[in-house]
Structure 1
Amino acid sequence: MSLFELTKPGLRKSDAAILRIELLGSMSAHMLDGSVITPTGAKTRGLLAILALSDRRTVTRRTLASLLWSRRSDEQARASLRQEIHRLAEALSPLGTDIIDVQRHTLALKPVLTTVDAERYLNATTSGILKLPETAATLLTDLDSVDPALDEWLSAQRNRLREHLVTTLEQALAALPETEQRMAVAARLLRLDRLNENAWQAQLRELARRNDTGAGLLAAEQCVITFRDTLDAEPGPGTMAIISELRAQHANGKAGSESASWMAESIAHASQSSGTYRAAGLSSAEHIARHGILNSHIASVGFLHIQGAQLLSVSADQADNLFDFLIIQLVQFGFLSVFPCQKIAPGTGSIAASENYPQSDYLVETRLQPGTTSPVEGLARAPRHATRLTVRLTDRRHGGVIVWAERFHVTPETIDAVASLMTTEIAWRIAVTEARNTTGRAAEDLLPVEAGLRSLALINRNEPAVYSQVETLLERGLQRDPEHPFLLLVSAIFRLIRSFEQWNETAYTQDIEAATEAARQLVHAMPESMIGRLILARLLLNIPGEANYGANLLAEIAPATPSAGLIAAISAYSKLVSGDTDAARSSLELFIRSHATHPFADLFDTDFVLLLLLTGCTEEAIRRAKTSISTAPTRVAMLVLYLAALQKLQYEDGTDTEDEKADIKGRLACLAPSLSVDTVMEHYSHLPALQQLMLRRLLTDAGLSETASVLN
């Protein structure tokens, strides 16, 4: 259900507003028919955001000008505000009526004509808070770094929203009569505030009341670890008293044998890969109480397998092997708690009905059924007797929203390749989703692995302005846990991505070397980590004298990974570096066909645009470059490639791109005034001579200075 379907009591559908403004996450503005009319300019969106969060009060022009142009004189700021008011009116003109009340000294949104998603939460009451969809989205993520004054305003608004939600949930915790309601409130509170003792106590007290000692001890361990890692202290006396009660229940033999059974199996899976072995004679609950299994994990994932009555090519043992492979590989990523697979027959019901199975954060639902002759791109062509495997990953904390879904056709020959592909997709999708879920918490409150996830969220924005923040987060996390696989992976990715924007040879070399060292540490710690080896191979391709080692590493990996997976994208780059542009284009097209929306394509879009440009896909290079620049306009590397692609389009079909090139050169002059063709070519010195010659000619003919510190 859409948030905007949650209308106030008594409000008729005919009274619905004509403009719906969404501020949670990136700003979005919609008409009633769903048409998007979000303003394109950051300042224009900032103006609309301030009005939308003004509690339906008027806002003075002086306030608006000071928030959006704090570094300009009053006169310049007022003039700029007048221009932005005009731009905002133009953007909203499809509505057919004025929804902004513009006066000589003030502005305001007309309340009858507009709805704002954040208002639903800011106005939430104790009795209605659970009726609202849970959200972990941060307010207006697209407006960071627009202006220092606006940054302060944004921080205040985000704190205001968070504090209101915490206060309302705490009141609901005390007021709601139903136990399940209070447990739901406690879970929401803990996702907002990991140190909220009221929520911990409510959750632990209820588990103790139910004699659910297994789940209680697990929650108690999470609570203690959270306080120790964050505050270097134990929870308060009230919380510790309840934890002591749970431990006493266990000592008195009240723990259910079935609950202990699933805990033992979970620990067995985790300990095989993490190196934490359960001592002989210790029960599962005792092992949790003594050691803990979730101290470095950020989310849990469970499996529900629905097996069809008739399997034409994949046996039950082979299906079991697939899930064993998935569980082991996911555990080895180092940031997930992985619960064993539950198997049910069709029509049996949901995993939620199982009282003895843990309620994981994410659920991987799979179903095996007789398949068709459809092939799987990059895998062996499915014969007539192939089995169809349907996979769905859902976030159970947010109403079962689907995070990722896919369908494969598998045979005994391709089942390992499919399992490998599923592992990468599931881990990556959970990591990206959890990264977004950490954006509302203070950096100092984050555990090491959460610092890695926050870093991943920032890296995904592809905005150079956040690189210093990412570096600080990763340094802090690695100081506390220097060998954590996930932190090493994110560190390698970050340094590689930042190297794209390093135009000083020393800084570029330092980033590549640091990224390579992090990737090598990851591979040393986890030799079976496929993603670690792929990132290492990609990095070696940029190092003089190491490219052959990178290509050889890819060749070693190839038999163990599906050809259409991430290896196709890395292989495309390897083939470009070796000078085989036709093969590079084929590999890139294979990856794009198979993974049109894979996060890898956004993270490394600079690589993708370079590949498209140098392999003859000029229009696609321009399209992707435009998309990237529209969301992150300060990326010099993308602007350089966009400039080259515009020149190449002019060569190929005579398209007049002079105005666009002039605009790009103007931006480059502001962002990197000393940039020259020689600087760019030094950056891409690892490319073959023919590709370097092409890139040099494109940039020179486009008007970029060859050696001087200014643009022509």
Structure 2
Amino acid sequence: MGESVPAHDRASPTTDRGPFELCLLGGFSLRDAAGQPVELPTRKCELLLAYLAMPAGRLHGRDKLAALFWSDRDEEQARGSLRKALSSLRAALGPQALGGDRDAVTLDPAALAVDADRLASLASNPAGIVEGAAPLWRYGEFLESRPSASAEFSDWLTFERTRCRNLAQTVLEGMALRLADAGDLSQAQSVGQRLLAIDNLREESHRLLMRLYARAGERSRALAQFQGCRELLKRELGVEPSQETVRLSRQIASDAASAGDAAVRPADGSGSPAARETAPSWPTERPRGLSIAVLPFAGKSDGEQDFLANGISQDIITELSRQRDFLVIAPQSTVGYGSGAGEAGIAARDLDVRYILAGSVRRGGDQLRVAVQLIDASGDRCVWAERYDRPAQDVFDLQDEVVRRIIANIDAEVRAAERESAARKRPENLDAWELFHRGMWHAYRFTRDDHQLAQGHFERALELEPGFSLPYAGLAYVCLSAVTWHFTTDVGQTLGAGIAQAEKALALDAGDAFSHVVLGRLLTFIGERPRGAHHLSMAIDLSPSFAQAYFGMAQLHFWSGRPREALHHIGQAVRLNPRDPLGSMFMTLQSFCHYWLDDFAAAEAAARRATALNARETWSRLGLAAALVALGRAEEAMTVIAEARRMDQGLTVASFDAVVGQVPDDLRQRVYSALRQAGLG
């Protein structure tokens, strides 16, 4: 048992034997339905099977496969090598596993179960890991230690490795949070360590581990994690941790000090005035803004695919150009560059941009695949990769859908990277553009101190550039945030000041979607819903991929008494940017919509997702408490309200009403009654 069975010695599998098991994460292994290892004769056969299986069911031209795997041979020899390799795969998997004709080959999806496919399923539904199995789940690099067959194969391999790495990070992060919520902090920490091992330069993974250690009372260990992160970033990238990571370190140290843990000190040296005066300098780099070049997408050198590849890259350029704060290089300037990821660094230097988008279009039978990679040239790292497999019946609908999804992901990833980059720098080194993004970084922290810092950065940006519209929009957003998070006692005056700032922003740039969203949401708060709808619609027209525009429209529908329509727009917002800084608010509004529709279990689930996204905000807890009361779990609801009151001691039904007073009265009274039953005065 357990010995490899050479492919040429195997009887052909019959249909009742079930699929083979192909493992590509961590290397390559193939097992039959009985769990016996299956040995393929060459590494090229292994790579060929992996390529055909990702995903199975696609048609691949024989000429393309021959050139992809045997580019060092002439055409006749390459075709002969391909025939021999396909014969070996048929001997291993059975004659029915491979189909096609003289010109193309396909792998039957029913012949194999592929671990990379299961990874993608888990990423879309982390709860799919059965209870107790999380400690056993492991991730290995896609086709680890396998040599490349050609330059084009290297591009495919880089893409798949990045995609699988991103999927694994999503899965492990979700697993760690679920384990922590279930009270199994030891296993949650173990999963967090596995997450960090995938990419030890990813600060989000360090922060998750710090929170898990602190939650378990291991504050010294949490601060040691910060120190290790700081030293690693300095050594490998020459940068300090982001402000978010430093802030978390200080918060953990402060919590430790209040608990009397004298052995714990802030790891960044902020525990003494002398240390604060000698704080390390933040590394600087020449600002580039949201500058991006879209390299020509690779087709197959035939008319239809070249047409589609060119159409997709042109549409991406056009849609990105609609974003006022994106500097998009004209397509004439990128035409000389190849489509591979290896061209990104060269193109970024030549074109003086920070971000590069590269992609390809391939057709197999009646299926089309579009693969894209977003590269941050400042660190020479692929920060996002995805592929889109769609039926090819209607090329134009396919093109529109794929472009829309790509734009949404680019917009989210690039803006997040800009905020993180600005947060790394010392304020005196920031220009007006960076001050705006530094301000938004603070604004999205949703604390009183950050609210004041954000306002200061926006005001400083206007001192440097009085004609720059975005800082005015930022000041308007600060007013909106002040009302939302109870940072003001005069709601009416604050909303009025925010509307005035948003109108100044639009007077300077009527085509800025963010300004329209902020104004639309402010107008919704004061009950001017027709004007609010106009500006939110304008935002969607100007930037169809901007998730916060759909969230604003969802708020407007909710406040207008249309919870079903609100749920539709929330769904769009989540699809466009599941990692939006307002993600917890997306889920909280979804919770209240479900509550209004008497689906209390869904309301509870959405509220819990919101608290998982932002553990220190109160709105999601109000939604959770209301749902729990409706489900007959008043004692749990009282615990939730007590947590919310510890976060905001001024939280009352009256303070809640000051914000949502324009919401229909029947819902407000239902929610207020539930909150009073949960102990909110």
Pick from 474, 480, 496: which aligns with 1:513?
Answer: 496
Query: Residue by residue, what CA displacement relative to the aligned partner does 1:483-541 show, whole Å, maximum 9, x if unpaired?
Result: 324333433333323321127551x3344333333333333333233343233323321
Distance 1:162 1:338 in 2: 42
Q: Which moved more, 1:600-609 or 1:534-543?
A: 600-609
Is structure 2 residue 380 aligned with structure 1 residue 399?
yes
Pick from 695, 699, 703: which aligns with 2:675?
Answer: 699
1:498-577 matched pairs, under 5 angstroms: 498-502=482-486, 506=490, 508-544=491-527, 546-555=528-537, 562=544, 566-577=548-559
**Structure 1 residue 463: deviation in Å?**
3.4
In the other structure, the counterpart of 2:318 is 325
Q: Check 1:617–1:592 CA distance in 2 against 1; reply closer, same or farther (3 A cut).
A: farther
In the other structure, the counterpart of 1:678 is 654
Amino acid at match of 1:529: D
Query: How many residues get paired?
Result: 471
Pick from 558, 561, 565: which aligns with 1:583?
Answer: 565
Is structure 2 residue 133 aligned with structure 1 residue 142?
no
Query: Residue by residue, what CA displacement relative to the aligned partner does 1:369-401 show, whole Å, maximum 9, x if unpaired?
Result: 4488xxxxxxxxxxx79x654332221222323
Distance 1:456 1:414 in 2: 34
In the other structure, the counterpart of 1:360 is 353
Query: Residue by residue, what CA displacement relative to the aligned partner does 1:637-696 show, whole Å, maximum 9, x if unpaired?
Result: 34333322322333xxxxx351x3333333444454454323322321111122212212
**Structure 1 residue 433: deviation in Å?**
1.0
Amino acid at match of 1:645: A
**Structure 1 residue 472: deviation in Å?**
1.9
Q: Check 1:121–1:542 CA distance in 2 against 1; reply closer, same or farther (3 A cut).
A: closer
Pick from 344, 350, 359: which aligns with 2:343?
Answer: 350
8 Å contact 2:512–2:542 — kept in the other structure?
no
8 Å contact 1:488–1:519 — kept in the other structure?
yes
In the other structure, the counterpart of 2:212 is 39
Percent sequence identity over aligned pairs: 15
Distance 2:402 2:474 in 1: 25
Pick from 612, 623, 641: which aligns with 2:623?
Answer: 641
Distance 2:540 2:425 in 1: 40
Q: Check 1:691–1:155 CA distance in 2 against 1; reply closer, same or farther (3 A cut).
A: same
Query: Residue by residue, what CA displacement relative to the aligned partner does 1:45-83 show, whole Å, maximum 9, x if unpaired?
Result: 5322455678xxxxxxxxxxxxxxxxxxxxxxxxxxxxx
Distance 2:221 2:360 in 1: 46
Distance 1:354 1:675 in 2: 53
Unaligned 5+ segments in structure 2 are 1-25, 27-140, 142-189, 258-263
Query: Residue by residue, what CA displacement relative to the aligned partner does 1:540-563 show, whole Å, maximum 9, x if unpaired?
Result: 21112x112222444556666659
**Structure 1 residue 367: deviation in Å?**
2.6
Is structure 2 residue 466 aligned with structure 1 residue 475?
no
Q: Check 1:465–1:531 CA distance in 2 against 1; reply closer, same or farther (3 A cut).
A: closer
Q: Which moved more, 1:683-692 or 1:21-30?
A: 21-30
Q: Check 1:587–1:119 CA distance in 2 against 1; reply closer, same or farther (3 A cut).
A: closer
Distance 2:364 2:662 in 1: 46
Q: Check 1:369–1:624 CA distance in 2 against 1; reply closer, same or farther (3 A cut).
A: same
Q: Check 1:505–1:43 CA distance in 2 against 1; reply closer, same or farther (3 A cut).
A: same
8 Å contact 1:568–1:590 — kept in the other structure?
yes
Distance 1:493 1:581 in 2: 24
Amino acid at match of 2:477: I
In the other structure, the counterpart of 2:480 is 496
Q: Check 1:564–1:402 CA distance in 2 against 1; reply closer, same or farther (3 A cut).
A: closer
Is structure 2 residue 438 aligned with structure 1 residue 446?
no
Unaligned 5+ segments in structure 1 are 6-17, 31-35, 55-115, 123-128, 167-190, 195-221, 223-293, 373-383, 651-655, 706-712
8 Å contact 1:408–1:418 — kept in the other structure?
no
**Structure 1 residue 477: deviation in Å?**
1.9
Query: Residue by residue, what CA displacement relative to the aligned partner does 1:307-344 show, whole Å, maximum 9, x if unpaired?
Result: 313464956774565244145324x216x575655235
8 Å contact 2:322–2:543 — kept in the other structure?
no
Distance 1:679 1:303 in 2: 48
Distance 1:408 1:484 in 2: 41
8 Å contact 2:292–2:328 — kept in the other structure?
yes
SS in 1 for 2:291: strand
Pick from 221, 246, 264: which aligns with 1:48?
Answer: 221
Amino acid at match of 1:520: E
In the other structure, the counterpart of 2:298 is 307
Distance 1:414 1:488 in 2: 38
In the other structure, the counterpart of 1:690 is 666
Tell me the C-alpha RMSD between the 2 structures.
4.6
Q: Check 1:580–1:24 CA distance in 2 against 1; reply closer, same or farther (3 A cut).
A: closer
Distance 1:338 1:359 in 2: 9
Distance 2:547 2:275 in 1: 43
Amino acid at match of 2:674: L
Is structure 2 residue 476 aligned with structure 1 residue 458?
no
Distance 2:341 2:373 in 1: 18
SS in 2 for 1:192: coil
Pick from 357, 367, 371: which aligns with 1:390?
Answer: 371
Query: Residue by residue, what CA displacement relative to the aligned partner does 1:439-466 show, whole Å, maximum 9, x if unpaired?
Result: 3332233222222222222233333442
8 Å contact 1:421–1:565 — kept in the other structure?
no
Amino acid at match of 1:695: V
Distance 1:560 1:417 in 2: 17
Distance 2:449 2:594 in 1: 26
SS in 2 for 1:305: coil
**Structure 1 residue 402: deviation in Å?**
1.8
Query: Residue by residue, what CA displacement relative to the aligned partner does 1:414-471 show, whole Å, maximum 9, x if unpaired?
Result: 7567656644542342121121123333223322222222222223333344222222
8 Å contact 2:309–2:361 — kept in the other structure?
no
Q: How does the TM-score come out when normalised to structure 2?
A: 0.58
SS in 2 for 1:438: helix
Distance 1:318 1:39 in 2: 46
Q: Check 1:681–1:162 CA distance in 2 against 1; reply closer, same or farther (3 A cut).
A: closer
